[in-house]
Amino acid sequence: MFIYGLYIIGALILIIIVLKLYRTKQQHAAALNIVFAKYTHSQLPKAKQKLVHEKAIEIVKSTEPKIRGFANEVERFGWYAKAMDVLGIPSAVPDNPVWQKVKNPYLVILPGNMLIRGVSDYLAKEHGINITVSEAKHYTGSKVKRGDTESEKTG
């Protein structure tokens, strides 16, 4: 009987490890998208930047109907990556033209996640691209409309 208990505990530990690995893989994909999107967006002409912003808002509205904007740079550039993917705009990062598949950037990664800093450090070291994503949890670079609260969206 004792041996079956050990098997059950072992199986639970294995399941937890697999779930943790999957979650970390999703967070890494989101971190790549966020940093790559911030860099790529900065390289686009103003007209394309506006198009990306409008497409991102459209995607957000279809995914999260009560949310109409971005509370921080992590959210903003996570959705911008999705918008650029839909619009067929490749990543401007050398040797990395594709976007990672992240279903809902709101749910995957939070500001200040060490993976975002790791991707930024990698770009600086390998490509000389210095990108810093704000770690502020209440980023004020974008006005947000959430639920019944009304405010302006900026691009």
Residue 52 has what pLDDT?
96
Q: Which residues contact 146 (CB under 8 A, 6 or more apart)?
A: 66, 67, 68, 69, 71
Q: What average pLDDT score do residues 124-135 get?
A: 89
- Other Cβ atoms less than 10 A from the Cβ of 59: the count is 18
Residue 67, strand partner residues: 146
pLDDT tens sequence across 14-47: 999 999 998 889 999 999 999 999 999 999 999 9
Asked if pLDDT for residue 149 goes beyond 70, the answer is: no
Residue 152 DSSP label? -
The chain-wide mean pLDDT, for the chain, equals 85
Dihedral sign for Cα atoms in the order 75, 76, 78, 82 = positive
Q: If pLDDT is split at 50, 70 and 90, which confidence band does 140 have? A: very low
Instruction: Give the global pTM.
Output: 0.78
Percent of the chain's residues with pLDDT above 90: 57
The pLDDT of residue 88 is 96
Tokens 């990543």 identify what position? 91
85, two tokens: 């993917």
Tens digit of each residue's pLDDT (9 = 90 or more) over 93-109? 988 888 999 988 888 88
Given a contact cutoff of 8 angstroms between Cβ atoms, the answer to whether 91 and 98 are in contact is: yes
